[in-house]
Amino acid sequence: MSIKVFCDIADLYNIKRFNKNNFVKGFTTNPSLMRKAGAKDYESYSKQILKVCKKKPISFEVFADDPRSMIEQGIRIKNWGKNVYVKVPVINSKKIFMGKVIKELNNRNIKLNITAVYTAKQTAKILKMINKKTKVIISIFAGRAADAGKDPVPEFLKSIKIAKKFKNVEILWASVREPYNYTQARQLGCHIITIPPSIIEKIQKFGKSFDLLTQETVKNFLIDSRKSKFKI
């Protein structure tokens, strides 16, 4: 199955670079990536990004913690561009499900990216809040789940299955840890995977045989041992 690759980044240099890359079909950002990129004013920095990324879909996240403010921010973010998805966390910091926010923004025909999702139960709750017309991405955090000793694969399989009735919903593999996650996401039937720049570059080099990998590995050992002038 084909899968769309998004770049998970907020710094302008890499957005300019990967916006020209046909392998990359869109972008995702979050407040942490924006801070890391040096953004001081959220809106003005986002609009700088949109001067570069004019057509490919891109997600900008609300950063309020109460439903009313999230809705207000979401409406404002939506107006930044036709290619903008409003990113909304599935819960707030108080563990309250943001169904009200999701439903309100979805009813306004605002494209959404529901983030920080980990389970199929959360996916099911999201699906109850949305229509079958307006585009919605559900971002399931595989890497962070695995970091906690949890297998994310069953949650993806269940989420993909229950979302099939919604032609407007796409399941996204988020929190990538290694290039092989791309293969996993594609095999599972995910619609999108969002990947950091360094891993995208590795994926585009896929195709080496085991024999070649063995030879390259041994050559690297040899080069390093000679540089260090090891002797026994």
Burial of 213 (0-12, 13-18, 19+ CB in 10 A): exposed
One pLDDT digit (tens) per residue for the chain, 232 residues: 699 999 999 999 999 999 999 999 999 999 999 999 999 999 999 999 999 999 999 999 999 999 999 999 999 999 999 999 999 999 999 999 999 999 999 999 999 999 999 999 999 999 999 999 999 999 999 999 999 999 999 999 999 999 999 999 999 999 999 999 999 999 999 999 999 999 999 999 899 999 999 999 999 999 999 999 999 9
Q: What is the CATH number of the domain that holds 134?
A: 3.20.20.70
How large is the C-alpha radius of gyration of the chain?
20
* Contact status, residue 149 vs residue 116, Cβ threshold 8 Å: no
The strand pairing partners of 117, in sequence order, are 140
- How many domains does one find in the chain? 1
Asked if residue 34 belongs to a domain, the reply is yes
User: In this structure, is residue 218 part of a structural domain?
Assistant: no
Closest Cα to residue 28, out of 217, 164, 196, 216? 196
Other CB atoms within 10 Å distance of the CB of residue 159: 26
**What predicted TM-score, i.e. pTM, was given to this entire model?**
0.94
Which residue, chain included where needed, has tokens 């919605």? 136
146 domain residue, yes or no: yes
By the 8 A CB rule, do 41 and 68 touch?
Answer: no
**Amino acid 83: pLDDT:** 98
Q: For residue 227, tell me if it sits in a domain.
A: no
| Residue range(s) defining the domain that contains residue 81 | 4-206
Per-residue burial over 66-92, b if 16 or more Cβ lie within 10 Å, else e, is ebeebbebbeebbebbebbbbbbbbeb
pLDDT confidence of residue 1:
64
Q: Is the CB of residue 200 less than 8 Å from the CB of residue 7?
A: yes
Half-sphere exposure of 180 (CA within 13 A, CB side): 0
pLDDT value, residue 205: 87
Q: How many CB atoms lie within 10 A of CB 61?
A: 24
| Residue 76 is assigned to a structural domain of this protein | yes
| Residue 169 pLDDT | 98
In this structure, the number of other CB atoms found within 10 A of the CB of residue 28 comes to: 26
| Model pLDDT, residue 66 | 98
Q: Looking at the domain assignment, is residue 219 inside a domain?
A: no
Residue 118 lies in a domain: yes
Return the axis-axis angle of helices 153-163 and 180-188, rounded to nearest 10°.
40
Answer whether residue 221 is part of any domain: no
Element (H, E) at 7: strand 4-8
